[in-house]
Structure 1
Amino acid sequence: MTDVPVLSVRNIRRSFADHAALDGVSLDVGQGEVVAVIGPSGSGKSTLVRCVHQLEPIDSGALYLDGELLGHEFAGGRLRPLPPRRVAEQRRRMGMVFQQFQLFPHWTVARNISEAQVRVHGRSREQARDRTLELLGRVGLADKADAHPRQLSGGQQQRVAIARALATRPRVMLLDEPTSALDPELVDEVLTVVRDLAAAGLTMVIVTHEIAFALEVADRFVFMDRGRIVDQGPVADVLADDRPDRLRAFLSRYTQAHGTARERGTRV
């Protein structure tokens, strides 16, 4: 990693009515770093990555990608919102994988991945097709280019969604609970792809409830509760006795299950 953050989040706030979904969140993500965002439901995890991708507006604070202010610009000594076209340009430098797969059901797998490359990024059909086939091979779906989403399992559909997010070579990948909509037996095939991406040095922010996976793949954990970052640090230290009580209480179910699994010789 370099000393210059790929992504900088500075004291951002986002409220819905009287509920503060994000209450002064600050975070830096370095080049090649994998950050796992964990925490209970309603803690602000998904809102955080949605705000970074500019799918949700922030009420205050600032976001930077490679040092460039996101969503706003200084003009005449004043800060003003960027026009939608400029926001879309910034968003193209980030990949987003949602809880739901968000695939077009009437398009083939290949078209789901290639269409934005042609229409938004100006690649030729041949270039987009080559990139699409490369990515399908990378996620283990080289034989599914001409299939339709309804012909795929949930795990396969999510792998297509990951390939689509990778198609533009994003500076940072944002994954919002990428396995939450999957049946348990399909989770591992998606996590395997994410492990490979992490091993390849892709910068990622992963919102996940898969604690064992987070400990395996991430460099750093970020624990959120009630719209704030309560604790963060190297994943190797997440289970240490000196972590905040709220984090240890949250992880207690995992540690109990992990201990039971070790006794039985099974995997959590």
Structure 2
Amino acid sequence: MSVLHLHAVTKRFGAHTALDAVDLEVAEGEVVVVIGPSGSGKSTLVRAVHQLEPIDGGAMYLDGELLGHEEHRGALRPLPPKGVAAQRRRIGMVFQQFNLFGHFTALQNVTEAPRLVHRVGRARCEREARTLLERVGLGDRTGHYPSQLSGGQQQRVAIARALATAPRIMLFDEPTSALDPELVEEVLGVLRGLAADGLTMLVVTHEMAFAREVADRVVFMEAGRIVESGPPDELFTRPRSPRLRTFLARHAREVSA
């Protein structure tokens, strides 16, 4: 069974259709990377999975469980906020912006969710948080505040924080887009490590070389639709659709990097 299954997912913003009947599955341990031009629906896709954007049609399933809705008297109705929050705890999300608590240290940022949401004891939370910060290369920055960290370090804290709830799948929405070019590689290195560890991941990125190197499958979106998907070597070297060929031609240098 897929960890994540999207069936005919549709999202509209007024007259604009951001997601147009999207079908997508992510298997256990699979790294799926989503690419495409700006405005193609990539970020809306991961935000919909995290239930930050309610969908207007279709269905989403996590480990076979319907996301965002429940059956009631033979019909579906939206989940109450507590139900949505419970489902979100099984999905890690890393945003373009780091969204760290500025008055918390790196360690406190990572321990907050397990301690308050999962009611895990402080000692265990701190022990596991230190392990996660070591995993993202910040074992020596546990007592630093966000203002004392570079953008790349802040994003790595955000990744550790998302991992702290042991999610079934990790979502990344352009995790390097807010970083200076020299800091991008340190974050991509963490993602490579997570992929090598077998973490199930859905990654939206404009880093073409990273997509080609790390993805098990690459998905190309345009105008809210999945135009083409496949293994990276196949998709980048033998694109079938004219639109993907045009897109890759514009990013030829990044693809071959």
TM-score by length of 1: 0.94
Structure 1: runs of 5 or more not aligned: 260-267
Does 2:127 correspond to 1:130?
Answer: yes
Moved more, 246-255 or 173-182: 246-255
- Give secondary structure in 2 for the equivalent of 1:156: helix
Equivalent in the alignment of 1:183:
180
- Give secondary structure in 2 for the equivalent of 1:113: helix
- The CA distance in 1 between the partners of 2:208 and 2:177, in whole Å, is 13
Give runs of ≥4 in structure 1 deviating > 6 Å. none
CA shift for structure 1 position 27: 0.2
Count of matched residue positions in the alignment of Structure 1 and Structure 2: 257
Does 2:162 correspond to 1:165?
Answer: yes
Identity of aligned residues (%): 62
CA shift for structure 1 position 240: 3.1
Does 2:56 correspond to 1:59?
Answer: yes
- The CA distance in 1 between the partners of 2:222 and 2:251, in whole Å, is 17
CA shift for structure 1 position 62: 0.4
- The CA distance in 2 between the partners of 1:85 and 1:208, in whole Å, is 31
Root mean square deviation of aligned Cα: 1.0
Equivalent in the alignment of 1:253:
250
**CA deviation map 1:213-235 (0-9, x unaligned):** 00001100000000000000111
- Give secondary structure in 2 for the equivalent of 1:5: coil
- The CA distance in 1 between the partners of 2:108 and 2:182, in whole Å, is 27
Equivalent in the alignment of 1:74:
71
Of 189, 192, 204, 1:192 maps to 189
CA shift for structure 1 position 238: 1.1
- Give secondary structure in 2 for the equivalent of 1:197: helix
Does 2:121 correspond to 1:152?
Answer: no
Structure 2: runs of 5 or more not aligned: none
Aligned-partner residue type, residue 23 of structure 2? S
TM-score by length of 2: 0.98
**CA deviation map 1:32-82 (0-9, x unaligned):** 000000000000000000000001100011000000000101111011111
- The CA distance in 1 between the partners of 2:84 and 2:118, in whole Å, is 14
Does 2:103 correspond to 1:92?
Answer: no
- The CA distance in 2 between the partners of 1:201 and 1:101, in whole Å, is 24
Equivalent in the alignment of 2:41:
44
**CA deviation map 1:125-161 (0-9, x unaligned):** 0010001000000000001111100000000000000
Equivalent in the alignment of 1:140:
137
Equivalent in the alignment of 1:211:
208
CA shift for structure 1 position 243: 1.6
Of 225, 244, 252, 2:241 maps to 244
Moved more, 91-100 or 245-254: 245-254
- The CA distance in 2 between the partners of 1:241 and 1:108, in whole Å, is 47
- The CA distance in 1 between the partners of 2:218 and 2:141, in whole Å, is 35
- The CA distance in 1 between the partners of 2:254 and 2:119, in whole Å, is 49
- Give secondary structure in 2 for the equivalent of 1:165: helix
CA shift for structure 1 position 242: 4.7
Aligned-partner residue type, residue 144 of structure 1? R
Aligned-partner residue type, residue 162 of structure 2? A
CA shift for structure 1 position 174: 0.1
- The CA distance in 1 between the partners of 2:136 and 2:238, in whole Å, is 38
- Give secondary structure in 1 for the equivalent of 2:32: strand
- The CA distance in 2 between the partners of 1:29 and 1:256, in whole Å, is 28
Please give the residue correspondences for 1:256-267 in structure 2 after superposition, counting only pairs within 5 Å: 256=253
Equivalent in the alignment of 2:226:
229
